[in-house]
Chain A
């Protein structure tokens, strides 16, 4: 562009210059070319974005794409499945892509060694280890115990529990976990995971309708496949824009892996926690709104235990009624703890023991293995010493299972 400067007596008043321009044909052509280029950039940009976005919509939500991971390659695998409500402090976050979750776990690091006796733990937050460091969880204590199987293989436990209460969620994880060839499945559980109404709403289940659908078809799981509690994705939810949050979560999971590797931290450890409730109202007999002394066994998912045994085939499944807080506080003669009135929990225990005697799964009841002062912020969360007591009570049974 050629510039010609002129002095102006109008505005501004001082001897500043104003520029006028004249354009040659070549400059006009250049400018037109630039405009065309600009237009093409915009059109092509939009077209590429639309193609990419809609192509993504054709890929199923639970595709193998989630397996693309830095874990177990550059970053050591996590010892627990990813879960975290405060990612910046926990160096961990919750996501519902099972492929990505398993790809970040240490169990996914290569094939199973021949010298390993693989124990796989599924279950709720008590087994995952809320407020416990990885080494303080039951799986951590098993690994620290240096156990060997009767055939000489070294016992190695993997924590595949996930902090929410739903037996269906555990079955879904078990289904996925079986491909890692466990030799023994330990399934600590508690009554709160049994009611039919809690099976789907837990986000991991609600966001994986496809996996649950398959379990329903393969194992006749008593879940309504058409339930509105499932979070089904529309076409738009599966486009790039619809999936942006999930993609971001998947990327963040990789990034937080660096801090996990550097610190070994995968959850927040507050200095103080609100202790689990120990005092109760005199008339608080409630359990999920059911009338006292009438635990509706038909509305509890006991069939999940048999399904687990069927799914596992020859692999032994050990069901453990996990320790719960047995309060000595006010009105504790009515309730054991925040979750359970005595009437409901006693009926549940009796029925579970009864089932355990005649089922394909082994059963151990450790409900009262840990005194109340070892519980932290929940009626099922233990402190490190409590976890050790739990492990000590479990150990003889575990040894028996290993050599079965």
Chain B
């Protein structure tokens, strides 16, 4: 996002709060969020996909809601309002093709109006079928989860994404030889998918009761957090939606401070560090090991300041709208071990995985009582970290990055179980020694995480291997 886009989002949030008081706020938020997903979607090489991807986001949300909604608790008028707003805004955006040859809200001119109408009719028809025919059984909702994961895998696997791009290019009568996996830059889908899966699992577990389409859409599309999170829980989000935090001088100050910190982190620190950070482009040019370490550390800091900056901006905009979004980072690089690092890095995502994968799997394995405790810990930590790796992309390097941290967490767990108690006795009455161990822990953790970023940053295994060879 550019500085201008961020300022528009922040000012838009403030304007929304002031213009739409009370119950109108939800509808204002819905309208703004729909506009935002079309506006923020970058231009893509495949014709009209900058319009179809946001439309598909709306479609996926509609169908997911149709699966999780409690049919006995539906409020007709509310849901009709939501559908009308959605349809009206999509048609309005589509109609901008009659005003300008370029895109006004979307980066390029929207597709033919008739195609948009047909797509909307198809989506509404499918949604109605799901609402009136399909019961929200675990099997039906499970199919929804499976469908979302399948879509996620297609988008995140280079080979599958390339094949999909090829197909889309054929449909659009474009040069298929130019098909690349980067053609499918569906903005915000990773976060959308995880929010939707969260609602589906909660529905299966009985933790999600009645939910109307409007609030469901606002939750998934909430524009300050649409691109880079944080991932809020629906239950918490609904509380803030219904009872927004007051907007007074204190909140304004807090929001302004957070926004300033976010802008500083993103545009001063992260963007400056990006100039010198390790990349697939510059690694082969590096001839001095010492400076390569500087570039690696620059990347480690860049990714933190970039992501944390976006989170600050999202939280600041959320405050203006009356929401308290969850924190995503709590000084992760100042933690003395890897477990604490992961408790404080991208917290909303790791909490998601803990809640919906790590804890259920741990419970299951413990109940089965077939594996030893260390083996259970290894299995759960490793599989969780592998999944977190794959969330970023279905490539060998992301998988290795996940395994790197899975092994690191397991090693730390064993260290804590076997060595830490003995160490604690040694340092018990020696605070200086304790402090020294803390500092050593922080340095080692930072180095371990930084080296892990090599797998994350390098596009291929060979380049990652080259980087390690040059580092050591």
Q: Which residues of A contact B246 (CB under 8 A)?
A: 1, 21
* Interface pair A262/B286, CB less than 8 Å apart: yes
> Known contacts A262-B292, A263-B287, A265-B285: does B272 contact A251 (CB below 8 Å)?
yes
A88 (CB) vs chain B CBs: closest residue:
B275
Q: Does B420 contact A (CB under 8 A)?
A: no
Report the Cα distance A26→B210, complex, angstroms: 40
Residue A12 at the chain B interface, CB threshold 8 Å: yes
- A46 lies within 8 A of chain B by Cβ: no
Cα-based distance from A263 to B288 in the complex (angstroms): 7
B367 part of interface (Cβ distance < 8 Å): no
- A14 to B292: give the CA distance in the assembly, Å: 60
Whether A34 pairs with B248 at a CB distance below 8 angstroms is yes
Of B243, B250, B272, B292, the residue contacting A18 (CB under 8 A) is: B243
List residues of chain A with CB within 8 A of the CB of B282.
Answer: 259, 262-263
Which residues of chain A have C-beta atoms less than 8 A from B88's C-beta?
Answer: none
Bound CA span A63–B332, Å = 41
Residue from the list A1, A35, A38, A255 in contact with B272, Cβ < 8 A: A255
CB distance from B66 to the nearest CB of A (A): 20
Complex CA gap A1/B251 in Å reads 13
Q: Which residues of B contact A262 (CB under 8 A)?
A: 282, 285-288, 291-292, 294-295
State which of A19, A37, A38, A255 has its C-beta within 8 Å of the C-beta of B275.
A255
Residue ID in chain A nearest B295 by CB atoms: A262
**What is the CA–CA distance of A252 and B298 in the complex, to the nearest angstrom?**
14
A364 beta carbon closer than 8 Å to chain B: no
B31 at the interface (CB under 8 A from A): no
- Flag whether B75 is at the interface (Cβ < 8 A): yes
- In the complex the two chains form, is A12's CB within 8 Å of B275's CB? no
Q: Does B23 contact A (CB under 8 A)?
A: yes
Q: Nearest residue in B to A30 (C-beta to C-beta)?
A: B250
Chain B residues near A35 (CB-CB < 8 A): 249
> Which one of B242, B249, B276 contacts A258 once the chains associate, using CB atoms below 8 Å?
B276
Q: Is B252 an interface residue (CB 8 A)?
A: yes
Q: CB within 8 Å of B: which of A24-47? A: 31, 34-35, 37-38, 41
Contacts of A14 in B (CB 8 A): 75, 210
Set of chain A residues within 8 Å of B11, measured between Cβ atoms: none
Q: Which residue of A lies closest to B275 (CB)?
A: A255
For the complex, give the distance between the alpha carbons of A264 and B287 in Å: 8
Q: Which of A239-270 touch B at CB < 8 Å?
A: 251-252, 255-256, 258-259, 261-265
Q: Which residue of chain B lies nearest to A258 when distances are taken between CB atoms in the complex?
A: B276
CA distance A87 to B249 in the complex (A): 44
A2 on the B face (CB < 8 A): no
* Contact residues, B338-361 vs A (CB, 8 A): none
**Chain B proximity mask over A155-196: 1 for CB below 8 Å, otherwise 0:** 000000000000000000000000000000000000000000
Beta-carbon contact of B295 and A258 below 8 Å: yes
Closest CB-CB distance, A95 to chain B, in whole Å? 15
Total interface residues on B, CB under 8 Å, equals 25
A-chain residues with CB within 8 Å of residue B272 when the two chains form the complex:
251, 255
The residues in B between 61 and 110 inclusive whose CB is less than 8 angstroms from any CB of A are 75
B129 an interface residue at 8 Å Cβ cutoff? no
Q: B240 → chain A, closest Cβ, in Å? A: 12
Q: Give complex CA distance A290, B18 in Å.
A: 69
Query: Does residue A55 face the partner (Cβ distance < 8 Å to B)?
Result: no
B22 proximity list for chain A (CB < 8 A): 11
Does A34 contact B288, Cβ atoms closer than 8 Å?
A: no
**B426: A residues at CB distance < 8 A:** none
Task: Establish whether residues B252 and A38, one from each chain, have CB atoms under 8 Å apart when the complex forms.
Answer: yes
The minimal Cβ–Cβ distance linking B235 to chain A, given in whole angstroms, is 13
Chain B residue numbers with a CB within 8 Å of A255 are 272, 275-276
- Check A16 for interface membership: any CB of B closer than 8 A: yes
Check if B294 sits within 8 Å of A41, measured CB to CB: no
Cα distance A264–B210 in the bound complex, in angstroms: 63
With both beta carbons as reference points, the residue of chain B lying nearest to A11 in the complex is identified as: B23
Contact A37 B253 (CB under 8 A): yes
Q: Which residues of B contact A251 (CB under 8 A)?
A: 272
Instruction: Specify which chain B residues have a CB less than 8 angstroms from the CB of A358 in the assembled complex.
Output: none
**A200 to B319 alpha-carbon distance, docked (Å):** 54
Chain B residues with CB under 8 A of A12: 23, 242
> Which of A11, A31, A37, A262 has the most B CB atoms < 10 Å from its CB?
A262
Which chain A positions have C-beta within 8 A of B248? 31, 34
Q: Does A359 touch B at the CB level, under 8 Å?
A: no
- Chain A min CB distance to B125 (Å): 28
CB neighbours (8 Å) of A87 from chain B are 275
Is B253 in contact with A38, judged by CB distance below 8 angstroms?
yes
- Is the pair A263, B298 in contact by a Cβ cutoff of 8 Å? no
Q: Is the CB of A258 within 8 A of B253?
A: no
A404 at the interface (CB under 8 A from B): no
A41 adjacent to B243 (CB under 8 Å): no
Q: What is the minimal beta-carbon distance from B254 to any residue of chain A, in angstroms?
A: 10
Q: Are B75 and A13 in contact (CB under 8 A)?
A: yes
Mark B271-305 against chain A: 1 for CB-CB distance below 8 A, else 0. 01001100000100111100110110010000000
Instruction: Considering the complex, give the chain A residue whose CB is closest to the CB of B276.
Output: A258
> In the bound complex, how far is the Cα of B75 from the Cα of A291, in angstroms?
88
A347: Cβ under 8 A from any B Cβ: no
Segment 212-267 of B: residues with Cβ below 8 Å from A: 242-243, 246, 248-250, 252-253
Q: How far is the CA of A256 from the CA of B291 in the complex (A)?
A: 12
B250: chain A residues within 8 A (beta carbon): 31, 34
Q: Is the CB of A263 within 8 A of B286?
A: yes
Please tell me if the beta carbons of A258 and B294 are within 8 angstroms of each other in the complex: yes
By a CB distance below 8 angstroms, the chain A residues around B275 are 87-88, 252, 255-256, 259
Contact status B291-A261, CB under 8 Å: yes
Name the distance in Å between B212's Cβ and chain A's nearest Cβ.
9
Q: Determine if A17 is an interface residue (Cβ-Cβ < 8 Å).
A: yes
- Would you list which residues of chain A between 108 and 166 have a CB under 8 Å from chain B? none
Which residue of chain B has its CB nearest to the CB of A256? B275
Between B253, B275, B286, the greatest number of chain A beta carbons within 10 A of the residue's beta carbon is seen for B275
The answer for the CA separation of A261 and B23 in the assembled complex, in Å, is 59
Complex Cα spacing A6 to B202, Å: 28
Contact A258 B210 (CB under 8 A): no
Minimum CB distance partner of B22 in chain A: A11
Nearest first, the 6 A-B pairs at minimum CB distance are A262-B291, A34-B249, A263-B285, A258-B276, A35-B249, A255-B275
Q: Assuming A262-B288, A262-B291, A265-B285, what are 15 further A-B pairs, CB within 8 angstroms?
A: A1-B246, A14-B75, A17-B242, A31-B248, A31-B250, A34-B249, A34-B250, A37-B253, A252-B275, A255-B275, A256-B276, A258-B276, A259-B282, A261-B288, A262-B287
User: Which A residues fall within an 8 A CB radius of B?
Assistant: 1, 11-14, 16-19, 21, 31, 34-35, 37-38, 41, 87-88, 251-252, 255-256, 258-259, 261-265
17 A-B pairs (CB sep. < 8 Å) = A11-B22, A12-B23, A14-B210, A16-B242, A18-B243, A31-B248, A34-B250, A34-B253, A38-B249, A88-B275, A258-B276, A258-B298, A262-B286, A262-B287, A262-B292, A263-B282, A263-B286
